[in-house]
Structure 1
């Protein structure tokens, strides 16, 4: 006997109106699928960056995002911007591959920077570091590396953010989310109305595995303005193609897992 299909949760077509819990689940699902794909690519010296942890942190990307939301009151736009940043950096840095070793440190750096770029009020780096499970010194270095990687492009058009959101709903792996009215095109002409993110007075007391790294960051070369930005799915396919081409011109002992 076949198990019943999951009950669909109907979500609004505007990311401003969606529950932040549902948005976090959608983003975590996309990032987990991206990491599952990219983790099969062997880690090469040229791929190492300051974002790499020494080992995969013992906290899932979903729980990590939930923790950040709980203790920093991060804006929905900042969460969606992390996807735009991945696409932007993948375009500007051919060696950048988003994996489970990169995810956590990248997310806390991206949310720290985007909150400062978008919001009138934001948390201190001391709090972001404690929530992220790293030291303030590490976060400062990560933030500087991140800003260089995105060339200080911390914001994008509201319609682009909504396109990311619409794509998340339509491609989510759980199969339990659907857009209200099954709208074929996402976005509207309304401007983003961002609320200020407020710092919490109390520090988080939930323990988290320390996310550390000893790897140096490579030099980042700037690319010309106006470079088209690929989607996450396109970057996944491009990463696989780039790796297969690399194998043809490298050691025969380096193979895809």
Structure 2
């Protein structure tokens, strides 16, 4: 339903069309990649997920291809965001960029489908759909499971929170959750938690990266998308965040080479 330029989305992610979920996720990932592609690639940050060059297919078309040929379930699409949070918390140097996003997605879909669904495809099909070899997918799958510490599941409530925040932070600014009174992408400064403690305005990507978990007011961590600290070991949670590493790198660059 559309009213005054606004587009109404279902209240529950289960009721959304899977193509709608793909568009929401692609919109967020595109902004995240645009942000992370500006970060210099360091040798120590290279992973199995890095391609030599960015794939020519867009993230949205890649997700649509996966949806079409693998019959992936909605929960498996959404939990990809949870996996991003987990891996970025456990591997601070990892960034989801145009070089890593596509391989991350196909590895995530492969792992989540096997872990959450009664029926799933073979690795040969996932590899063909993803545009990589079976051998490469097998390696990525093992790397992925290790990176998330085999934590394959999360609650339905958490997936719903990801969905709501994807809607409310959509780049169009016109999406609303069914029953809400205003565009869900409109939020105040109180909805954001800046781990630096400074009052500078957030960048467009930081608005995506640092949306507060509204239904869990005890959450104070900063994550790539939406943090669930219950899934992160305390010693891991104390490591520098991606944003802190970026700020440190920017500081060193501004000071120039050491004398």
What is the TM-score with the length of structure 2 in the denominator? Answer: 0.74
2:154 aligned residue: 156
Shift of the 154–29 alpha-carbon distance from structure 1 to 2, 3 Å rule, reads same
What is the CA–CA distance in structure 2 between the aligned matches of 1:121 and 1:233, rounded to whole Å? Answer: 28
2:104 alignment partner, SS class? helix
1:176 Cα deviation from its structure 2 partner: 3.4
2:96 to 90, 95, 98: 98
Match in the other structure for 1:128: 126
- Deviation of 1:130 after TM superposition, in Å, equals 0.2
SS at match of 2:179: helix
Contact 1:115–1:122, Cα closer than 8 Å, also in 2 = yes
Question: For 1:159-199, what per-residue CA distance to the aligned partner results, in whole angstroms no more than 9, with x for missing partners?
Answer: 00000000000000023321011189x9xxxxxxxxxxxxx
**Aligned residue for 2:33?**
35
| Alignment CA distance shift 1:229-1:117 (3 Å) | farther
Over 3 Å counting, the alpha-carbon distance change for 1:78 and 1:183 in structure 2 is farther
Task: Tell whether 2:69 aligns with 1:71.
Answer: yes
Corresponding residue for 1:140? Answer: 138
- Single out whichever of 14-23 and 175-184 deviates more from structure 2: 175-184
Alpha-carbon offset, residue 240 of structure 1: 4.0
Q: Among 238, 242, 247, which residue is 1:239 paired with?
A: 242
Alpha carbons 1:38, 1:239 under 8 Å: kept: no
C-alpha contact 1:88 1:229 (8 A) present in aligned 2: no
Q: Any conservation in 1 of the 2:82–2:226 contact (CA below 8 Å)?
A: no
- Stretches (4+) displaced over 4 A: 247-251
Equivalent-residue separation in structure 1 for 2:4 and 2:150 (angstroms): 42
Structure 1: gaps (5+ residues)? 187-226
Instruction: State the alpha-carbon separation in 1 of the partners of residues 41 and 16 from structure 2.
Output: 37
Residue 228 to residue 124, structure 1, CA distance change in 2 (3 Å): farther
Q: Check whether the contact 2:87–2:147 (CA below 8 A) recurs between aligned residues.
A: yes
What's the CA shift string for 1:76-113, capped at 9, x where partnerless?
00000000000011111111111110000000000000
Select the residue among 9, 12, 15 that pairs with 1:14.
12
Which structure 2 segments of 5+ residues have no match?
185-218, 228-240
**Contact 1:41-1:240 within 8 A present in 2 as well:** no
Deviation, 1:244, is 2.6
TM-score by length of 1: 0.74
- Name 2:24's counterpart in structure 1: 26
In the TM superposition, 1:186-197 aligns within 5 A as none
1:150–1:6: structure 2 CA closer, same or farther, 3 Å change rule? farther
RMSD: 2.6
Q: Would you say how many aligned residue pairs link Structure 1 and Structure 2?
A: 207
Matched position secondary structure for 2:8: strand
1:117-148 alpha-carbon deviations (Å, 9 max, x no partner): 00001000000000000000000000000000
Q: Could you tell me how far apart the structure 2 residues matched to 1:97 and 1:120 are?
A: 31
**Which one scores higher on RCO, CA 8 angstroms, separation ≥ 6?**
1
